[in-house]
Amino acid sequence: MNLMLTARCNNSDDFKKFGYNTVKSEFSEWCDSSKCVFGKIDEKNIVELFFDVNPAKLKEWLSKPSTQEIFKTHNFVPTRYTFEPLSI
């Protein structure tokens, strides 16, 4: 499974530096971390791409207290998820 998500946060640059980069080394536990992409949309919105995601391992990682603390600290709120290719 591949995952694309957009999210809101307090500050995109701070989230990248103190959130995303802090835990990126853990991504290999649940996806192909060599392919992960982070993009800043604007000051409060970001987009993230994850490939070859293991849904069960992702769920485990998302429930970790340290992951939840990062989300809380940065007011990280996902706004859209895509798990499958769009049919056009």
Q: In terms of residue numbers, what domain contains 64? A: 3-82
- Tell me if 22 is assigned to some domain: yes
- Tell me if 87 is assigned to some domain: no
Q: What is the pTM of this model?
A: 0.87
pLDDT band at residue 86, thresholds of 50, 70 and 90?
A: low
Per-residue pLDDT of 42-80, as tens digits, reads 999 999 999 999 999 999 999 999 999 999 999 999 998
Q: Considering its fold, how many domains does the chain have in total?
A: 1
CATH assignment of the domain containing 25: 3.30.70
Per-residue pLDDT of 7-56, as tens digits, reads 999 999 999 999 999 999 999 999 999 999 999 999 999 999 999 999 99
Q: How far apart are CA 22 and CA 35, in angstroms?
A: 17
- Tell me if 64 is assigned to some domain: yes
